[in-house]
Amino acid sequence: MPGRLVLLATTGRVAAGLVTLGAWSLLRSADLVVVSGRDHPLLPSLAEAAIGVRVIEPVGDPDSARPLVERWMSEVAGGVVWVLAPGQDAASFSSLPCESLIASWDLPGAHLLDLVAVMDRLRSPGGCPWDAKQTHVSLVEYLVEEAYEMAEAIETDDDEALREELGDVLLQVAFHSRIAQEHVDPWTIDDVADGVVAKLISRHPHVFGDSSADSAEQVEADWASLKAAEKGRASVTDGIPQALPALVLAAKLLSRANRVEVEPVSSSTAAGVADALSAAQGSYGDLLLAIVAQARADGVDAEQSLRQSLREYRARVRAAEGVTG
């Protein structure tokens, strides 16, 4: 490769040394190999391959790079390969007399590795004292808060906020997974991902197996059946978190219980609700707000009152199923 400068672009998010065959051929045939950064992940592999390198501090722009390039080209008769810092874009040096080659690149989802690395740094000795003292229990309030903020972003159709709030929820996943690495029986975020993948595959036999599903409703029903079998659940009400907000809990319980013919309220109460809804001009929100306001005026906690009714309804559903306890 006489008189040739090749910029080699790499990513730090793949296993060290995992670059293309063309890149390795260039590195072996070069008269001079220059590597940006003393912590470049490719350095150990280059040393193992007995390829001599010259390590420099990362250079950010063509103007500061030009004198270096001129000196390198004057030192050797053949070619020079400059291994850029991980993630550095070779296109930013396009004004230089050079060629470029992408030696390794990120797969979709690779940036999650950065989150894992940052979380590990924060939690490790010498990291952040606040992060280091957190536990699964102490983080519960943040997980709940972030979930509600994400829901609000969806309800207000705020796409930018949704992206940010999804990141905050993802942080909670990474945080809890990093804490779990310190358990007596540790597990990692890879175990979390493995579990989700296995669950998705097993519960989508119409995609990954031999069965079929003709509608979203059938998929949902099959999912519920598979989940019940996996969990060994005797009742449709099993597995519903009782700590859910009362209205969310009500919707979840009613959705599950629609397979069991148990009416949630008496026919007269249902008729009264229909009349009240008509008076509220069809606005369920206004009707609910009016009920809460009346409960408050009567000194009743609407949340707790609904929870009590839900406990009674759940018991009736379980009795209809023949499930005790």
What tens digit of pLDDT does each residue of 101-144 get? 999 988 899 999 999 999 999 999 999 999 999 999 999 999 99
Task: Report the pLDDT value the prediction gives residue 325, as an integer from 0 to 100.
Answer: 66
The whole-chain average pLDDT of the chain stands at 90
Burial class of 205 by CB neighbour count within 10 A (0 to 12, 13 to 18, 19+): middle
Confidence label for 16 from pLDDT (cuts 50, 70 and 90): confident
Q: Say whether pLDDT at 155 is over 80.
A: yes
The full set of domains in the chain, from first to last, is 5-102 (3.40.1010.10), 112-202 (1.10.287.1080), 236-321 (no CATH)
CB atoms within 10 A of CB 135: 10
269 touches 309 (CB < 8 A) = no
Query: What secondary structure does DSSP assign to 272-289, as a single string?
Result: HHHHHHHHTTT-HHHHHH
pTM equals: 0.74
pLDDT at 138: 96
Residue 264 pLDDT > 90, yes or no?
no
Answer whether 237's CB lies under 8 Å from 318's CB.
yes
